[in-house]
């Protein structure tokens, strides 16, 4: 079901004490403020149990940053969907741009991970988007089309409605560059139209599509105001409660 979401991807940051303090600050903020969006976090896997225990009322969703495409076995260092399910985690990011860049992940692998999550009734946050060369060449919509179709288009209509999509232009992550609100809206609308053509408009309208390219307190409101932008997948700004809370308030 389509909803407004602000999700914080903590990446490989914060020691345990710092992470715990940030969780407690976020919990305090959520208790004392009405938010017009769902709030989710994806801390490092080592902290998932602590996050789940901290937010035991379920008001803040807790997500893994990745899962293995394999269900179990001799895959040292990997985390399975069964493992995160068994400790009550809500879902996982899938194919973040850094997983693609540094670990060579493909959309075919993403498709397997997404199916694994759906089989356990968990929420996949599927990440896609173009790099700078693809953006400058004008082929960025073709890139997003291929990514979306490969990762998602063998799902049923019921299944795809349970997926959250995060469009993250790689050229706008950690570079100081930010896509304009209109650029974000263009690609979000394109993704939604792709899904409408494959399934139906009613199906596409049920899917939350988040923007994941350097959302900051000073641009969140404008980006979130676009009709096909349903929130943000936030990186660095999610590590400071002052910034993250202001981004959440972009929906107020």
- For the entire predicted model, the pTM comes to 0.96
Do the annotations mark residue 40 as ligand-binding?
Answer: no
* 103 counts as catalytic: no
- Using one digit for the tens of pLDDT, what is the confidence trace for 205-251? 999 999 998 899 999 999 999 999 999 999 999 999 999 999 999 99
| Residues 6+ away with beta carbon under 8 Å from 91 | 61, 63, 64, 117, 122, 123, 124, 125
Catalytic residue chosen out of the listed positions 69, 98, 105, 168: 168
Q: In which region does residue 129 sit, left (phi positive, over 0), alpha (psi from -120 to 50) or beta (all else)?
A: left
Do the annotations mark residue 77 as ligand-binding?
Answer: no
Do the annotations mark residue 11 as ligand-binding?
Answer: yes
Do the annotations mark residue 174 as ligand-binding?
Answer: yes
* 168 counts as catalytic: yes
Q: Which is nearest to 120 in space by CA: 155, 71, 66? A: 71
Q: What is the pLDDT of residue 179?
A: 80
Tell me how long the chain is. 252
Neighbours of 137 (CB within 10 A): 12
Q: What is the pLDDT of residue 213?
A: 82
Do the annotations mark residue 129 as ligand-binding?
Answer: no
Strand partners, 91: 63, 123
HSE value, Cβ hemisphere, 13 Å, CA-based, for 113? 30
Mapped onto helix, strand or coil, the DSSP state of residue 166 is: strand
* One CATH from 3.40.50.12160, 2.60.40.1180, 3.20.20.70, 1.10.287.3610 for 5-251: 3.20.20.70
Low-confidence ranges of the chain (pLDDT < 70): 174-178
Q: What is the pLDDT of residue 173?
A: 74
Catalytic residue chosen out of the listed positions 96, 98, 105, 188: 96
């Amino acid at each position: 079901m389509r909803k407004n979401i602000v999700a914080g991807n903590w990446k490989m940051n914060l020691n345990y004490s710092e992470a715990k303090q940030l969780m407690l600050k976020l919990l305090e903020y959520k208790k004392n403020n009405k938010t017009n969006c769902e709030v989710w976090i994806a801390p490092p896997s080592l902290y998932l149990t602590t996050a789940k225990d901290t937010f035991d009322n379920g008001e803040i969703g807790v997500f893994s940053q990745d899962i293995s495409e394999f269900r179990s076995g001799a895959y040292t260092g990997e985390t399975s969907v069964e493992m995160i399910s068994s400790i009550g985690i809500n879902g996982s990011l899938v194919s973040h741009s850094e997983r693609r860049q540094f670990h060579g992940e493909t959309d075919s692998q993403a498709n397997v991970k997404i199916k694994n999550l759906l089989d356990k009734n968990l929420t996949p946050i599927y990440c896609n988007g173009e790099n700078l060369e693809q953006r400058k060449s004008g082929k960025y919509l073709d890139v997003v089309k291929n990514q979306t179709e490969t990762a998602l288009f063998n799902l049923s209509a019921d299944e795809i409605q349970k997926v959250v999509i995060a469009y993250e232009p790689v050229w706008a992550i950690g570079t100081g560059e930010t896509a304009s609100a209109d650029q974000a809206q263009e690609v979000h609308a394109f993704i939604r139209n792709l899904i409408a053509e494959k399934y139906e408009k009613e199906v596409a309208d049920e899917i939350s599509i988040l923007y994941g390219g350097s959302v900051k307190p000073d641009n969140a409101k404008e980006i979130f105001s676009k009709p096909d932008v349903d929130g943000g997948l936030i990186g660095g700004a999610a590590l400071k409660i002052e910034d993250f809370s202001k981004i959440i308030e972009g929906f107020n």
